[in-house]
């Protein structure tokens, strides 16, 4: 190591210290052998959802091709592509399992997510899903006309929505809407679009809500005290 300049070898003045100008500062130089880095391997915990096996009903036909899975059942056909962080394996018992291919945070997230997505397509093509909505408000009502869902929601005109292909919509008692099908994501998207027309307001609770939704109510303005 190159020698320091002579001005840096002067003794430090203890009276002045760092409060006044001094040329007596001697830096401490550590030997190169004492400097190093410690590498630690962080292992991500296995997802509790991801490690669960997936049951495959007898009426569902599966096609596995590396990172691609296709499920065909009595209600329809769905497919799913897997990222490189996870893989899907079919066991001798007929069950499916999703495994991580790397010990990273992203792989741990994809583990549980794609296990759920795989289970959704298998349940969807065999049993199907549904989403129920409730209309709350005076004069609010809905009806199915052909391939359209028509709703009266207090606007100057009725709201007309085309029902997407692969979904079925049924109205009960004029105020209860049931969206069903085999694609869970499509059902949730269409139900959210319906609700977006009239989200429930917090004072009287009027609007469109999910059947299992709890609307937090607010207290209105109190009258002026005398």
Residue 190: pLDDT band with limits 50, 70, 90 = very high
100 plus 168 within the same structural domain = no
Distance of CA 52 to CAs 115, 116, 170, Å? Answer: 8, 10, 34
100 plus 138 within the same structural domain = no
Mean pLDDT, residues 48-67 taken together:
90
89 plus 153 within the same structural domain = no
98 plus 113 within the same structural domain = yes
Which CATH number belongs to the domain containing residue 205 in this structure?
Answer: 3.90.930.12
Q: For residue 174, how many other CB atoms are within 10 A of its CB?
A: 12
Inside any domain, residue 22: no
134 plus 196 within the same structural domain = yes
Inside any domain, residue 16: no
Point out the least confidently predicted range of 13-22, 99-108, 212-221. Answer: 13-22
In the predicted model, what is the mean pLDDT of the chain?
Answer: 83
135 plus 202 within the same structural domain = yes
Residue 54: pLDDT band with limits 50, 70, 90 = very high
Q: Contact, 132 vs 178, CB < 8 A?
A: yes
Domain that holds residue 63: 54-127
Whole-angstrom Cα distance, residue 177 to residue 171? 5
Q: What's the alpha-carbon Rg for the chain, to the nearest Å?
A: 32
pLDDT in tens, 161-182: 999 999 999 999 999 999 999 9
Flag whether pLDDT at 78 surpasses 80.
yes
Inside any domain, residue 9: no
């Amino acid at each position: 190591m190159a020698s320091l300049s002579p001005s840096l070898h002067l003794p430090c003045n203890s009276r002045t210290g760092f409060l006044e100008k001094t040329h007596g500062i001697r830096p401490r130089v550590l030997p190169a052998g004492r400097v190093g880095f410690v590498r630690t391997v962080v292992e991500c915990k296995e997802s509790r959802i991801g490690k669960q096996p997936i049951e495959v009903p007898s009426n569902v036909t599966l096609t596995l091709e590396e990172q691609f899975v296709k499920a065909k059942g009595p209600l329809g056909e769905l497919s799913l592509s897997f990222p490189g962080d996870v893989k899907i394996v079919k066991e001798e018992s007929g069950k499916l399992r999703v495994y991580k291919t790397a010990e990273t945070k992203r792989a741990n997230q994809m583990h549980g997510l794609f296990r759920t997505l795989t289970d959704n397509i298998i349940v969807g093509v065999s049993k199907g899903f549904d989403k129920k909505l409730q209309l709350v408000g005076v004069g609010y009502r809905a009806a199915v006309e052909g391939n359209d869902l028509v709703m009266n929601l207090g606007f100057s005109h009725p709201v007309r929505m085309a029902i997407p292909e692969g979904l079925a919509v049924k109205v009960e008692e004029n105020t209860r809407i049931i969206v069903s099908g085999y694609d869970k994501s499509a059902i949730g998207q269409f139900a959210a679009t319906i609700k977006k027309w009239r989200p429930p307001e917090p004072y009287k609770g009027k609007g469109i809500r999910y059947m299992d939704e709890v609307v937090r109510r607010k207290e209105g303005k109190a009258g002026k005290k005398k």
